[in-house]
Amino acid sequence: MASADRKQRIKDDTRKSILDAAMRIGREEGWQALSMRKIADIIEYTPPVIYEYFANKEALMLELTKVGYRILAKDMKAAQEKHRLPEKQLEDMWLTYWNFAFAEKELYQLMFGIEVNCCVWDNSIPEAEVPANMIWEVIGELMGVENPPEDLICKRYYTFWSVVHGLISINLVRQGVPDGMNEEVLKDAIGGIIRSIKP
Amino acid sequence: MASADRKQRIKDDTRKSILDAAMRIGREEGWQALSMRKIADIIEYTPPVIYEYFANKEALMLELTKVGYRILAKDMKAAQEKHRLPEKQLEDMWLTYWNFAFAEKELYQLMFGIEVNCCVWDNSIPEAEVPANMIWEVIGELMGVENPPEDLICKRYYTFWSVVHGLISINLVRQGVPDGMNEEVLKDAIGGIIRSIKP
DNA sequence: TATATTTGCTTAACACTGTTAGATAATTTA
DNA sequence: TAAATTATCTAACAGTGTTAAGCAAATATA
């Protein structure tokens, strides 16, 4: 009876160990190698146990993408707090986004990959909005007016995101991009957009 | 003996029907639904027959991406030939690229998807260079000098490609992008880059 | 304390997947 | 017509996600 807490704690631990195991397989062998049986092996249970914690494989992976968004949000927040000027903040935040994509390569693929969870984006991941909102705010600030027009912020946000995400995708899929090209394109593009925002 | 030609013709037909069947499944149900057995059903053979034409499923899909690049190259060539001014050509070519991505959504995902054929990009798809080279040439022309510096063309090319591919990826994965935003971002970005190139 | 009930976990199966070896049927050659 | 070749299929292997049924241990009830 008094063991209810302990039981819950054990359950939480198991849930976390499932996510950890899945993440480990994803990172070490790629998502195509992730299987329920492999997870079960690692956590030393049989596969059906996993279904007591997650409805199915897709739900499990959705949880992992949420973890990814939380890490990204934390990183970007830290980057923002390193500067005072909005233009410097923006630059560092996007650079942080860039670095995250390669430091957590597999996680980024899971979060933005085209295959994995296509058509499951019906706002079921509120975590995804956190990094977006952070950028939105800084863009608004950079504009330097009282009530910055929503649609303009939106446009700028998508321009930023497109160029950064596009460059990342290209680099993740093909690895023959000339050396040094990435940094130049990235800095040029980000700088250009920032200049077009600044009053 | 004289039937060698006819035999070869039948073989070619079967090969094509395999590709057609695979393409149909990909388009209608998505690539995650593509299976060798489904292809076999459509072509009215048993699965092992497919392996006489393609080493494995991956090789079959690689062939489909090549088909995709050939269609894209044809479309872009037509777009270019509609104009004389390089800036107009560039604009139309990227718009054509954009339209292709949505008209041939599944094909585009196969060509540039992060999951499917990751790490198989060791220049094994010469077709992929055709559209790239077309853009390169027009950028060089737009610069208006005798020997345009390679690295600058390269940089511009990647900037173009990043923003367009990024915007496409975002739209293919999540479908909540505000209406009209895409066109604006696209036109702004392309226009901006073109202006930065023009002498 | 003895019985009933719930909980945790496993076994075994189903319907799939890509892929291959071996058998069989059809065609071509001698 | 008989032999050799080619075309095709059957059946299997090892893997996948997922679920139903059963067992055993912990808990709650009498």
Tell me which residue in B112, B159, B181 faces A189 most closely, judged by beta carbons. B159
Contact residues on chain B for A167, CB-CB shorter than 8 A: 158, 162, 166
Tell me which residue in A31, A185, A196 faces B158 most closely, judged by beta carbons. A185
Question: Which of B112, B115, B151, B161 to probe the A interface (max A CBs under 10 A)?
Answer: B115
| pLDDT tier for residue B174 given thresholds of 50, 70 and 90 | low
What was the pLDDT predicted at A124? 59
Average pLDDT over residues A59-64: 92
Give A4 CA → D29 C1' in Å.
18
What was the pLDDT predicted at A56? 95
| pLDDT tier for residue B176 given thresholds of 50, 70 and 90 | low
Whether residue A120 is predicted with pLDDT greater than 90 in this model: the reply is: no
When comparing pLDDT for A151 and B132, which is higher? A151
| Closest to A132 measured CA to CA, from A165, A104, A103 | A165
Give A49 CA → C11 C1' in Å.
13
Range from A67-71, A124-128, B158-162 carrying the lowest mean pLDDT: A124-128
| Closest to A131 measured CA to CA, from A88, A76, A62, A191 | A76
When comparing pLDDT for B199 and B9, which is higher? B9
What was the pLDDT predicted at B191? 86
CA distance A76 to chain B (A): 20
Average pLDDT over residues B180-184: 86
Tell me which residue in A113, A118, A161 faces B166 most closely, judged by beta carbons. A161
What was the pLDDT predicted at B2? 39
What was the pLDDT predicted at B120? 40
Q: Which nucleotide, over all strands, has the C1' atom closest to the CA of A58?
A: D17
Q: Which nucleotide, over all strands, has the C1' atom closest to the CA of A1?
A: D27
Contact residues on chain A for B176, CB-CB shorter than 8 A: 121-123
Residue contact B192–A192, C-beta within 8 A: yes
Whether residue B49 is predicted with pLDDT greater than 90 in this model: the reply is: yes
Whether residue A122 is predicted with pLDDT greater than 70 in this model: the reply is: no
Q: Which nucleotide, over all strands, has the C1' atom closest to the CA of A3?
A: D27
| pLDDT tier for residue A71 given thresholds of 50, 70 and 90 | very high
Question: pLDDT per residue over B80-93, tens digit each?
Answer: 999 998 888 888 88
Give A73 CA → C7 C1' in Å.
39
Question: pLDDT per residue over B111-167, tens digit each?
Answer: 877 543 333 445 556 677 677 787 777 888 888 888 999 888 888 888 987 888 788
Question: pLDDT per residue over A155-170, tens digit each?
Answer: 888 898 788 878 887 7
What was the pLDDT predicted at A127? 74
When comparing pLDDT for A25 and B198, which is higher? A25
Q: Which of A21-35, A168-182, B88-102 has the highest mean pLDDT?
A: A21-35
| Nearest-angstrom CA–CA distance, B114 and A109 | 7
Give A17 CA → C3 C1' in Å.
37
Tokens 């079967």, residue? Answer: B14
| pLDDT tier for residue A134 given thresholds of 50, 70 and 90 | confident
Percentage above 70 pLDDT, chain A: 89
Whether residue B101 is predicted with pLDDT greater than 70 in this model: the reply is: yes
Whether residue A116 is predicted with pLDDT greater than 70 in this model: the reply is: no
What was the pLDDT predicted at A118? 35
User: DSSP string spanning A51-99?
Assistant: GGT-SSHHHHHHHHHHHHHHHHHHHHHHHHTT-SSHHHHHHHHHHHHHH
Question: pLDDT per residue over A5-14, tens digit each?
Answer: 778 888 889 9
| pLDDT tier for residue A15 given thresholds of 50, 70 and 90 | very high
| Nearest-angstrom CA–CA distance, B119 and A175 | 8
Residues near A19 by Cβ (< 8 Å), separated by ≥ 6?
Answer: A60, A63, A64, A67
The answer to whether B114 faces chain A, any CB pair under 8 Å, is: yes
| Nearest-angstrom CA–CA distance, A43 and A21 | 7
